[in-house]
Chains A and B, each alone.
Chain A
Amino acid sequence: GAVVSQHPSWVICKSGTSVKIECRSLDFQATTMFWYRQFPKQSLMLMATSNEGSKATYEQGVEKDKFLINHASLTLSTLTVTSAHPEDSSFYICSARGGVVSGNGMDEQYFGPGTRLTVT
């Protein structure tokens, strides 16, 4: 199946610094990428949806200036957590869709392995 990678897999940073997380589709072109946040023992919360070459669409309650998303190419999206604070510590998961069609004609969504961010 299609593969989505994330880098780094975990990161520890100091409060006030910015952190960039990369998401890559390795063997397909991702027309749409998604960024999720997952708190311990909870489900995934969609943060934003991005299409290549256009601005991301953020979910209600997600700060655009805090979580900068850039979908630079059909295989790369980045999430930058700016001026990170301890409450931003979480598991961030990206997902990509595009180019892989399932039986009913709907393309599938593939998930990266996640990035654990800890802000001290």
Chain B
Amino acid sequence: GNSVTQMEGPVTLSEEAFLTINCTYTATGYPSLFWYVQYPGEGLQLLLKATKADDKGSNKGFEATYRKETTSFHLEKGSVQVSDSAVYFCALFTGGFKTIFGAGTRLFVKA
């Protein structure tokens, strides 16, 4: 079946450090891939997406590339800020009703 696997958190970084959060997926067909961010006490916000192989999604300095050969969609940011502290969810959608979410990775950024 379809599934998403994310690296376990929490991830703790100092401000301006480089961020990578790994995400791999299993899916039939050609899924769309997403990263959502959840700030404390809030709902999910779409951070970026990619809808086909080799697409790169980017937003607010974050980026992720849809790698079909490795079934991955790793999230990266070159220089994190304290305000990036949140939980990040990788997700896929294959055109059925449901979006499949990863378990979430909590990021703490220290000043």
**Stretch in B15-23, B70-78, B93-101 with 4+ CB within 8 Å of A:** B93-101
Within 8 A of B (CB), among A38-71: 41-44, 46, 49
Interface size class of A (residues with CB under 8 A): 20 to 34
Q: Which residues of A contact B41 (CB under 8 A)?
A: 114, 116
Within 8 A of A (CB), among B55-100: 89, 93, 95, 97-99
Does B44 belong to the interface (CB within 8 Å)?
yes
* Least CB separation from A115: chain B residue: B43
Taking a contact as CB atoms under 8 Å apart, the answer to whether B52 and A104 are in contact is yes
B51 to chain A, nearest CB (A): 4
Asked whether A114 and B43 contact (CB < 8 A) given A43-B101, A43-B103, A106-B32, the answer is yes
Interface residues of B, count at CB 8 A: 23
Taking a contact as CB atoms under 8 Å apart, the answer to whether A104 and B43 are in contact is no
Taking a contact as CB atoms under 8 Å apart, the answer to whether A111 and B36 are in contact is yes
Give the CA-CA distance A34 to B98 in the complex, in Å.
9
Taking a contact as CB atoms under 8 Å apart, the answer to whether B101 and A102 are in contact is no
Does A89 belong to the interface (CB within 8 Å)?
no
Taking a contact as CB atoms under 8 Å apart, the answer to whether A32 and B104 are in contact is no
Taking a contact as CB atoms under 8 Å apart, the answer to whether B51 and A1 are in contact is no
Taking a contact as CB atoms under 8 Å apart, the answer to whether B101 and A44 are in contact is yes
* Least CB separation from B6: chain A residue: A43
Taking a contact as CB atoms under 8 Å apart, the answer to whether B32 and A43 are in contact is no
Taking a contact as CB atoms under 8 Å apart, the answer to whether B42 and A114 are in contact is yes
Asked whether A113 and B42 contact (CB < 8 A) given A41-B106, A103-B51, A104-B51, the answer is yes
Give the CA-CA distance A26 to B33 in the complex, in Å.
25
Q: Which residues of B contact A79 (CB under 8 A)?
A: none
1/0 per residue, CB under 8 A from A, across B29-54: the answer is 01010001000011111100101100
* Residues of B in contact with A (beta carbons under 8 Å apart): 30, 32, 36, 41-46, 49, 51-52, 89, 93, 95, 97-99, 101-104, 106
* Residues of A in contact with B (beta carbons under 8 Å apart): 1, 6, 32, 34, 41-44, 46, 49, 93, 95, 97, 102-104, 106, 108-114, 116
